[in-house]
Amino acid sequence: MKTFRFAVISDPHIALPQTIDNTVSRFHMVEVSIAALEKALTQLEPLNLDFLLIPGDLTQDGEIENHQWLHQRLQKLPFPCYVIPGNHDVPVPTSNHEVVGLAEFPRYYTGCGYQDSQEAYYTQELLPGVQLIALNSNAFSQDHQQLGYLDQKQYWWLEKQLKLYSEQLVFVMIHHNVIEHLPGQSHHELGRRYMLDNANQLLTLLKQYQVKLIFTGHLHVQDIAYHDGIYEITTGSLVSYPHPYRLITADYTQNQWHLTIESHRIESVEGYPQLAQQSRQFLGDRSQFFMTRLLTLPPLNLSPENAAKLVPTLQYFWADVAAGDSKFDFPNFPSPVRYFLQKFSHFNHPQHLHFQDNNTVLKL
């Protein structure tokens, strides 16, 4: 296989109208979830794609009827679709009468990568010479707290797959971030919950078998990060600004794979004629608490009084981080704050990408 084309949609958070949680503190617009997904799929269906990847958070909060609706919709696509669970999809270890548990997740997505599987991870030949390894990064502590973690059983399985497909182009898909996309993400209180707890172990194994591509979601930002020969492409949420999805063309020329990445946005849906502006405002209106914590937590450790002076200027900071390719500078801020925020412009970007989180070409 020398050329193929596929799409990535992440974190669609499907919520049927009767299931919508109207909590005022949420940061994503689940009320547009079905309309945004339908519009994205309508744009993708005529393109003769080879497959679609969805790296988790398929539903609002694991509701059975939302999983059922999404599975039925994906089954109607003219191309294969492969999914994995996100933390919102499996909020409990085993199902109850309202939500899907991790143990039962595979049977809700038969045909979307899962084939009579008892595990929430799998491998699938995408095309001759191209193999998907779809991992489950959801786990539970003894007191049933959710974790982003790969257990040892899954690692043993993964290494067997990597040995078996060592001569092929391998895509790894996982919900939690494996490479940092934000400054100090794996150590910061606000960022580490989006990271895989044992990310370094996974990166070591992937490097050993020369895997170069990871596809993730969870963080709701458009970003391409790089670490030691491995690219991680995280895709923003379809229900959060800027409502993106990705089209990727893979082409093998001159003994090397080239991935041409294009990002597209859902600009409007019924009831939201200016979705981008409305959702950017939606994030901005809810940003005060988040930005205050960013400024008052380590490494900045500002006092609440000093943070309050800066927060109004940062109303749209997170929305602009989510959009990708944004450059930040706040010359009137105190130097430590200014330099910290500047890092969000280029953190973990390979120099040759020129800060291109949305549209670029990767050479593998």
Average pLDDT over residues 4-25: 92
Amino acid at 13: H
pLDDT in tens, 287-346: 999 999 999 999 999 999 999 999 999 999 999 999 999 999 999 999 999 999 999 997
Residue 163 CB coordination number (10 Å): 10
Residue 232 has pLDDT above 70, yes or no: yes
Q: DSSP letters along 227-248, please?
A: ETTEEEEE--BTTSTT-EEEEE
Query: Which stretch of DSSP H or E encloses residue 45?
Result: none
Phi and psi, residue 264, nearest 5°: -125, 160
> What is the residue-averaged pLDDT of the chain?
94
Can you give the pLDDT at residue 1?
64
pTM (2 d.p.): 0.96
Give the residue extent of every domain in the chain.
3-265, 275-345
Can you give the pLDDT at residue 22?
78
Q: Are strands 3-8 and 244-253 parallel, antiparallel or unpaired?
A: antiparallel
Let me know: does 279 contact 243? Beta carbons within 8 Å: yes
Let me know: does 238 contact 55? Beta carbons within 8 Å: no
pLDDT in tens, 241-287: 999 999 999 999 988 999 999 999 999 999 999 999 999 999 999 99
Query: Which stretch of DSSP H or E encloses residue 123?
Result: strand 122-127
Can you give the pLDDT at residue 12?
98
Enumerate the β-bridge partners of residue 269. Answer: 272
Q: Quick one: tokens of 147?
A: 């974790």
The matching CATH number, chosen from 3.40.50.620, 3.60.21.10, 3.90.190.20, 3.40.1260.10, for 3-265 is 3.60.21.10
